[in-house]
Amino acid sequence: MLAAENAALKGAKVGGMADVLRDLAPALQPHGVAVDMIMPDYGFLAREQQAAFVCDFVVPFDSGHYPLKLYRLANPLQPEVWIYLLAHEMFVAPGHAIYTQDSPGRPFASDASKFALFCTAVATLLCSGLIALPDRLHLHDWHCGFFAMLRAFEPAYTQLQQIPTILSIHNLAMQGIRPLEGDISSLRAWFPGMANLSHKRLAAALDPRYPDCVNPLRAAINLCDAVHLVSPGYAEEVLQPSRPEEGFFGGEGLELDLQRIRREGKLFGILNGCDYSAPAPTISRQQIRDQLKDLAYLALLSKLGYSEFVQPSEIIAQIRLSQKGLPQGFLLTSVGRLTDQKMLLLRQPWQGGLVLDAILQRLAAWNENARFWLLGSGDASLAREFSEVAARHDNFLFINGYHEQLSEALYYSGDLFLMPSSFEPCGISQMLALKAGQPCLVHGVGGLKDTVADGHNGFVFHGRDLEQQSAALLQTLERALTLFGTPHWQTLVKAASASRFDWHASAAEYVDKLYSSVN
């Protein structure tokens, strides 16, 4: 497996894809599948994991030759298989960052160059025999689309065509689009020979909306032998064109390719699983809640330790913690990336403010002790907007960052978990909240509708456009608040705790459907 993230290694996680890479490999083992993985080192993983140095090697890239180092370590969860790490200065970013937030005028520029080199390095290792050829190659998201292009278009790597190759799409909205030429982060800069191919020859890799651009995710969709989406619901939604003005996000320009792949019997929707092996906390929900303030401060300190400047969000969060301290009553929680995928509905205009303002006003009117704690990192403009909301409402704590201990504590101490995603390929946060016995309030899309059932283990809202979705979110929150503290609520909590989306069942589908389809 080739991937950008893997939560099996400390510091190698940004989103849910990392959890998948951590949990899927051990789940496949009982089905007779041994999974080695490879990813960039990002300048710190090999050192911090004490990985063993394997070799130096040289990669043809960008009209030159780039020296890289290969390390490996036993998978912490499976000592009999390897995790390989690739080291080069291009993979290094400040603060141990995995992804780079480029300027709006050059989206994906840094990351596309980084992962183009990564894919070239993996192809070189495999074709030179430095890593043994596997029975299957499994690529994850757009970061690995360049590997599919090298396999299809570069003569030096044609032997890779003999190995069946599968693509998993964890987020179709992120496609890594870059220009064909005219930039240091472009197809011609990375692969001059490939850039000289005709548009007809490169057609499978060109973006359908921007024909002067390469689209690595589209390339992987068209050039791999099978395509997997991480929930059955999302696998259906991506076959339809997106209608952002109506709040519907589907194929994001790639729906025609995905429709063709489905007609050919090569498209699969398999729900991600959740790991239930770790024991539940031995302390009570109240005892966990008593730790929240200290954990929130730890999260703020860990963020500040890697920051050159103090952001307003950190100051506002500290003020709110000193003012309000521990949550004493109803606690609404949310953990997730700050992207429009996750947060668009909270940012919608509503009665002179935002939907998020309306949520906080309703909580305050219902119970002065009710609180909303949101932990998330990502888009800087969203962080600023949420900081402004936090300055307006003293019942809202927004921590701009990610902190594993705080996130786990929020899952286990919250009363209701909010996940109003505009689209959700699968989602892991709602599964973790359910596992912790916290009912979820979700938008009925993608993997959310595959895991949360209205009135059973949570609350689900719908709407034909953004305005209807916003109204439905607020109405559904109202419905949840009226049930809180009733016997029905306890039934919801028990059903949430009993919800199971086991990796073993999903792994069986990988073997029986996905891997078997490319024999």
Mean pLDDT of the chain: 95
Domain 16-33+108-273+504-518 fold:
Rossmann fold (3.40.50)
What are the DSSP calls for 432-498, one per residue?
A: HHHHTT--EEEESSHHHHHH--BTTTEEEE--SSHHHHHHHHHHHHHHHHHHTTSHHHHHHHHHHHH
17-35 per-position pLDDT tens digit: 999 999 999 999 999 999 9
Q: Rounded distance, CA 226 to CA 263, Å?
A: 12
The parts of the chain modelled with pLDDT lower than 70 are 306
Element (H, E) at 179: strand 178-179
Candidates 229, 287, 275, 271; CA nearest to 434 is 275
Residue 315 has a CB neighbour count (10 Å cut-off) of 13
Task: Report yes or no: 172 and 238 within 8 Å, Cβ to Cβ.
Answer: yes
The three-class DSSP label of residue 61 is: strand
Q: Which residues make up the CATH 3.40.50.2000 domain(s) of the chain? A: 16-33+108-273+504-518, 285-500
Task: Report yes or no: 167 and 221 within 8 Å, Cβ to Cβ.
Answer: yes
Q: Rounded distance, CA 481 to CA 483, Å?
A: 5
pLDDT of res. 15: 81
Task: Report yes or no: 139 and 168 within 8 Å, Cβ to Cβ.
Answer: yes
Task: Report yes or no: 65 and 95 within 8 Å, Cβ to Cβ.
Answer: no
85-103 per-position pLDDT tens digit: 999 999 999 888 999 988 8
CATH class of 285-500: alpha beta
- Burial (CB < 10 A; 0-12, 13-18, 19+), residue 484, is middle
pLDDT of res. 162: 97
pLDDT of res. 380: 86
Element (H, E) at 382: helix 380-392
Residue 240 C-alpha from the chain's centroid: 22
Beta strands in 184-286 (DSSP E): 213-214, 226-229, 267-269
Start-end of H helices in 229-371: 232-237, 255-263, 285-289, 292-305, 312-324, 340-343, 355-366
Task: Report yes or no: 273 and 506 within 8 Å, Cβ to Cβ.
Answer: yes
380-406 per-position pLDDT tens digit: 899 999 999 999 999 999 999 888 899
pLDDT of res. 118: 98
